[in-house]
Amino acid sequence: MSALSDLLRRAEPTHISGYLWAYLDAATKREIRRALLKAVCVPGHITPFASREMPVARGWGSGGLQITLATVVADDVVKVIDQGDDDSLNARTMRALIADCSGVATTTDARAATLIQTRHRIPEDDLGDQVVLVFQVPISDPLREFEQRPMAARRMHAERDYAAIWLGLYEDHSRLNRSRFAHSYPCEVEGGYIVSSTPIPRFDVPRLHQAPFLSLFGAGREAAVYAIPPYTDVVPITFTDRPFETEAFDGPCASCGSTGSYLTEAVVDGHPALVCSDTDRCRRRQAEEAAR
Amino acid sequence: MYTTVRESQGAIDASARLAREQRERARLAGDGDRAAAVGALVPLLVDQVMAEAGVVEPAVAAKAVEQARGDVSRAVSLLRSWVSCLPREGTATAGWDEIEVERRITPAFSEPAGGQFLGASLDYAPRLLDLGEPARADGPADDQTGSPADGADGPDGEGLGREGLGGMEPGGEESGGGAAAANGDPLALPRATSRLEERDLIAAAEPTEPVDVTRRSSAAGAGRGAFAQFLSRAETGALTALAYTAVREGPKQADPTVVELRAGLLPVTVAHPRTGGPVLVGSVPVTTCELVLYHVQVDSTGEHTDSRFTLGYGATAGRVERRAISAAMLDARVTRAAASEPGTARPPSDDAEWLITALDGQEATGFVEHLKLAHHVSFASDLDRVRAVGAVGTRADGGSDAAGNAPSGPPADPLTDEPADASTDQPTPRGE
């Protein structure tokens, strides 16, 4: 799409009466885009920005929403998931808000989306380079657990001083014989900064490595963004003799039979069972199975 | 004046009556408009919402209160997110001296230059719940709250103000000026603190430059001006609680005294975009406070002592006065801590970074309430680790203790042994 036609489409009246196209004013969008450009240029760097108050509460995805609304263009196709599910309440609310104030098309099919705002998951489908992933981030700094003073943590990042994380990892392995990190596993980006793989499970972490898509992370409450550009090394930190472990599941998805997907608890036919957390792909697989 | 008429009770009763009458007048003005009625019925609630939002627009704030069904946090959220959409057209600075004073008290000095003015306040009225008939809408507030001393004032509110409050007129709306105007010269009310400054009893503090924290990532590290704005928008309860912990520490550490509390309308003047000339764009209701901490500073050598007061300054939009007092308290504590020996252990009330992470109501309530959202993906990840780490414990125990079925035995596998109904605790609404 040309820049001109994009601008013309943006001049259309907003779908929420009294608000601008994509909610944010132009100056705010520009500011957030600048922060994002910096974040992309310095992969993994926690980049501060003047987080705005959004019509969702702080801590409910206001950072991801600001990124989405600052980057969305008129011909985007938007998918929003929470826990991998397009139909969870939070995802529905967020998707309706994005669509209402911008008029963009929405989808539940990750393969058709050009912009995916997500909380806690990466869709199971193979994603190409046409899509941008926007992650909602609760706690942006992997050092937070070890250093509560933000200014001190900032200095540690600047000096690549991650001894505290490594020491914590060492203590885990010596006491527990494994890492205690569950989700938000700390990852080294392109040999530089260590980032929090914000609460996506470890299962999804390998998919960030050399991913064809751009990943943008927004923490509204903490007023920070960071990014992982396409085709970037993302390495979960671990000792050379201690392999990184992803979540393990007993058996396949009870609904679609998938063995290679992240499973969460659900009730199938009245019994507790493990099913895919990516509900759209799971449904698609079931439909394909039924058609066969 | 407060100190001279206290004996007769006249000023105190008049102050409370003025507050009630203002409310009644506003209520009558707001008849038929729900938001205006909200603003009239609970003006201090609207003030609190405006202050915490950092947005002074009473009509919109009243709408926010109504639409949030009285939830302050949500109303603040509505207001702040509304303002997020508005471009910032300019800035203005205004000074303490420019406030059109409606209320001025100086707890540190009984007779400050310029006098004290109670203004409209319920501070001094007894907190007796009135279970009687609500006031009728077809007349002015009745005299049931007035004391016999008020009889001479007549039904006219303005006469009451003059008589009872030593020259002060009630509010700025009709008269266009408060106590300062009545005195003919705003400079007739110098800061009470200047008495202490003239005698070099106030320790030098970091100079304050105005900073807009809403256009920064964080107030942390941005100086005292940013901290002051942050405090002016802080959540009222948290702000009060932290200031309270600072007082609780006891007089041996730092005894706070409010030198002056001043409330009124602050005219806001901006430069005209074309001519550059000053243009009055409105007045903002503000409450400001200056307080001093008494403490004796001794350095590690024990030689250099500094016994001067530490000055704290707090300001807030609106008339919720504990906000300004609490902000002044925390400003003073942080200033004092900055002047103390490095490495000294600091309680939360003295640590600007700590306060900045804790006191923004939107950040706090947003994050606490987000715990209501579904977390089953990250929780499954937790469960995976619980299982794995539990398995390690079992192996270690198994070597030394054969009692595998003891209470300290292997935990049940939470992914498979949970009863069926437990897994439906947090159902995710599915599509049609």
The predicted-structure confidence for A202-221, as pLDDT tens digits, reads as follows 999 999 999 999 999 999 98
Contact A50 B216 (CB under 8 A): yes
**Calpha distance B293→A117 (Å, rounded):** 50
pLDDT of residue A231: 97
The domain segmentation of chain A, as residue ranges, is 3-141+184-236, 248-292
Query: Does the CB of B399 have a partner CB in chain A at under 8 Å?
Result: no
The reported pLDDT for the residue numbered B32 is: 66
> A276 an active-site residue?
yes
Per-residue confidence (pLDDT) for residue A57, from 0 to 100:
82
Q: Which residues of A touch B367 (CB under 8 A)?
A: 58-59, 138, 221
Q: What mean pLDDT, rounded, does chain A reach? A: 90
Average confidence (pLDDT) over B218-243: 92
Quote the percentage of chain B above a pLDDT of 90. 36
B342–chain A Cβ distance below 8 A for any pair: no
CB contact under 8 A, A60 and B369: yes
Lowest mean pLDDT among A124-128, B64-68, B265-269, B424-428: B424-428
Nearest CA in chain A to B380: A264
Higher-scoring residue by pLDDT: B239, B21: B239
Residue B158 predicted with pLDDT over 60: no
**pLDDT at residue A273 above 80?**
yes
Q: Is A187 assigned a catalytic role?
A: no
Interface contact A64, partner B, CB < 8 A: no
Report which of residues B168 and B89 the model is more confident about. Answer: B89
What value does the mean pLDDT take over residues B293-301? 70
- Residue of B76, B89, B217 to mutate when probing chain A, most A C-beta within 10 A: B217
With contact defined as beta carbons under 8 Å apart, do A135 and A199 qualify?
A: no
A101 catalytic? Reply is no
Q: Does B412 touch chain A (CB under 8 A)?
A: no
Residue predicted with more confidence, B334 or B346: B334
- A121-154 pLDDT, tens per residue? 999 999 999 999 999 999 899 998 888 788 899 9
Q: How many CB atoms lie within 10 A of CB B136?
A: 9
Tokens of B46: 């609207």
Query: Which chain B residues are Cβ-neighbours of A55 within 8 angstroms?
Result: 77-78, 81
Residues B58 and B283 sit within 8 Å (Cβ to Cβ):
no
**A202 interface with B at CB cutoff 8 Å:** yes
A18, A41, A44, A220: which is the annotated catalytic residue? Answer: A44
> Average pLDDT, whole number, for chain B?
76
Task: Check: pTM over 0.80? Answer yes or no.
Answer: no
The pLDDT value given to residue B301: 66
- The proportion of chain A whose per-residue pLDDT surpasses 70, expressed as a percent, equals 94
Considering only A103-107, A175-179, B220-224, B296-300, which range has the smallest mean pLDDT?
Answer: B296-300
Greater confidence (B40 vs A197) lies with A197
- Residue B80 pLDDT class (50, 70, 90 cuts): very high
Q: Chain B window 176-215: which residues touch A at a Cβ cutoff of 8 Å?
A: 214-215
Of A87, A151, A223, nearest to B429 by CB-CB distance is A87
3-state secondary structure chain A: CCHHHHHHHHCCCCCCCCCECCECCHHHHHHHHHHHHHHHHCCCCCEECCCCCCCCCCCCCHHHHHHHHHHCCCCCEEEEEECCECCCHHHHHHHHHHHHHHCCEECCCHHHCCEEEEECCCCCCCCCCCCEEEEECCCCCCCCCCCCCHHHHHHHHHCCCCHHHHHHHHHHHHHHCCCCCCCCCEEEECCCCEEECCCCCHHHHHHHCCCCCEEEEEECCCCEEEEECCCCCEEECCCCCCCCCCCCCCCCCCCCCCCCCCEEEEEECCEEEEEECCHHHHHHHHHHHHHC
Q: Which of B214, B369, B377 sits opposite A83 (nearest CB)?
A: B377
Checking A151-159 for CB contacts under 8 A at 24+ apart, the result is: A151/B220, A151/B221, A151/B353, A154/A46, A157/A45, A157/A46, A157/A193, A157/A194
| pLDDT score at B415 | 52
Rounded CA gap, B380 and A119, in Å? 15
- Tell me: pLDDT of B147 over 50: no
- Could you tell me what percent of chain A has a pLDDT over 90? 72
What's the average model confidence in pLDDT over B207-224?
Answer: 84
| B59-92 b/e (C-beta count within 10 Å ≥ 16 → b) | ebbbbbbbebeeebbbbbbbbbbbbbbeeeeeeb
Question: What does the DSSP 8-state code read for residue B175?
Answer: T
* Chain B residues within an 8 Å CB radius of A248: 384
CB distance B373–A90 less than 8 Å? yes
Report the pLDDT averaged over residues B230-248.
Answer: 92
Q: Do A177 and B392 touch (CB under 8 A)?
A: yes
Nearest chain B CA: its distance from A78 CA (Å): 17
Sorting pLDDT into bands at 50, 70 and 90, what band is B170?
very low
- Which residue, chain included where needed, has tokens 């939360």? B348
pLDDT, tens digit, 9 for 90 and up, residues B126-145: 677 777 665 555 544 444 44
Verify whether the Cβ–Cβ distance A57 to B366 is below 8 Å. yes
- Nearest by CB: A178 against B80, B389, B430: B389
pLDDT of residue A219: 95
pLDDT of B135: 54
Is residue B399's pLDDT more than 50?
no
Catalytic residue from among A64, A187, A220, A256:
A256
HSE (side-chain half, CA atoms, 13 Å) at B196: 24
Fold of A3-141+184-236: Rossmann fold (3.40.50)
- Asked whether the predicted pLDDT for residue A267 surpasses 90, the reply is no
pLDDT beyond 80 at B426: no
Which pLDDT value is given to residue B54?
94
B398 pLDDT band, cuts 50/70/90, is very low
Question: How far is residue B140's CA from residue B138's CA, in Å, rounded to a whole number?
Answer: 7
